[in-house]
Amino acid sequence: MRGIGTGIATALALALAGCATTPQSRPVASPSVDTAKLQQVGAAILFWDQAKRDATFPAMETVFPGNVVKRGRRVHSLPAGTPLPIDAATVDAFMAQNNTAGLIVVQDGKVRLERYARGYSASGRYTSFSVAKSFTSTLVGAAIKDGYIKSVEEPVTKYIPELAGSGYDGVSIAQLLTMTSGVKWNEDYTDPKSDVAGMYLRPVPAGMDPTIAYMRTLPRDTPPGQKWVYKTGETNLIGVLVSKATKKSLASYLSEKVWQPFGMEQDAFWMVDQSGQDIGGCCLSVALRDYARMGVLVLGGGKGVVAPGWFAAATAPKADVGRPGFGYGYQWWTYPDARYGAQGIFGQSILIDPKRRIVIAMSSAWPKATGPDLSAARAAFQQKLIDAAVR
């Protein structure tokens, strides 16, 4: 499926190089990091060897600057449920063949299967890549509940006036969320001239956010609402919009609205760009059980966290992605049988099956960023897990 991951990896270092500004919450990475080396490392993420992926995906804060998403004192319990009736050898084989480091299955709020490999453990956290998009979307729902944003039908330019006179004139927040803005964008990860590879290369006017500086230069391709095109840059823009509306960093707002009140077990880590802005489209590192808790939160409707009906709207298919039975909501992928989920390159995923009250979260280090063979193998295994859960 096109756009299954995030292209931010190809330009990550450019987004992070020169992080001399102090993040709004406690930084994790060393402030003495060599930014020239950082640029090299970030640009090479797609081409790290397997040993580098295994070592760094669970420890991105040792390489990149970012903000902490602080947990609270209370932990949302995930008690043990009846063990999933699936052969351990089948699970082990899938995890080994697909370089899966963490797998958890939660049904009705209880853990039915939890497994770690490749040096990962329950006490660690793992990068999300584009799974972060669904967390950023959730903060829009929270901002509407809190009154910072009135409605997704409002124009983007109300909250980011710097976009006035650009291709984003007349584009609503909803169209940004569904990636149907009509603004022209190239997400080709292999093209050095693509937007996703070059969005942080241009000089940024003094005092302007680097994402806004680039996105306002893009031309209109189609009328808003007519065509879906996967755009990591637009999720970054959503992150900027939330920060502007709330006057808070994404990390601090996520802590306030989700991590502390819902009871996430561990702090999370969110990478920042060169201005200190959390990267809305990527790069949130979270513990496996907390990825599962996010699924539990969504299944429960997010009462007290997001506006009423937010998750029902966010996880409904709103854009045609060109594949029968599949679609795109508010930064959530939608699948056949009313399932939905979050996805990121190299095998990161949260799958939610509302009919069966099941959440399946996976953290992986696939041998390549994405591919139909890898996606098909994951989907087939997820179905095996669901079939086992309903026996």
Q: CA 251: distance to chain centroid?
A: 13
- pLDDT, tens digit, 9 for 90 and up, residues 17-65: 323 233 333 334 434 434 443 444 444 677 789 999 999 999 999 988 9
**Beta-bridge mates of residue 7:** none
What is the predicted pLDDT for the residue at 198?
77
Predicted confidence (pLDDT) at residue 300 exceeds the cutoff of 50 = yes
Q: Which of 9, 80, 5 is nearest to 42 (CA)?
A: 9
- At residue 5, the pLDDT reads 36
Q: pLDDT tens across 231-248, in order?
A: 999 999 999 999 999 999
- What pLDDT is attached to residue 21? 30
Q: Count the Cβ atoms, other than its own, within 10 Å of residue 201.
A: 10
Please count the other Cβ atoms lying within 10 Å of the Cβ belonging to residue 98.
18
Residue 238 contacts residue 177 (beta carbons within 8 Å): yes
pLDDT mean across residues, the chain: 89
Q: What is the mean pLDDT of residues 315-324?
A: 96
Return the structure tokens found at 68.
């902490």
Would you place residue 174 in the very low, low, confident or very high pLDDT band (cuts 50, 70, 90)? very high
Residue 44: per-residue pLDDT: 63
% of the chain residues with pLDDT over 70: 88
Confidence of residue 11 (pLDDT cuts 50, 70, 90): very low
User: Helix/strand/coil (H, E, C) string of 60-120?
Assistant: HHHCCCEEEECCCCCCCCCCECCCCCCCHHHHHHHHHHCCEEEEEEEECCEEEEEEECCCC
In the chain, the DSSP E strands lie at 66-69, 100-107, 110-116, 126-127, 268-271, 284-286, 319-320, 327-328, 333-334, 340-344, 348-353, 358-364
How far, in Å, CA of 146 to CA of 91, rounded?
Answer: 42
Summarised one tens digit per residue, pLDDT across range 178-229 is: 999 999 998 887 777 888 877 777 788 888 899 999 999 999 999 999 999 9
Residue 3 confidence (pLDDT) above 80: no
- H or E element, residue 234: helix 232-246
Structural domains in the chain plus CATH codes:
7-41+48-389 (3.40.710.10)
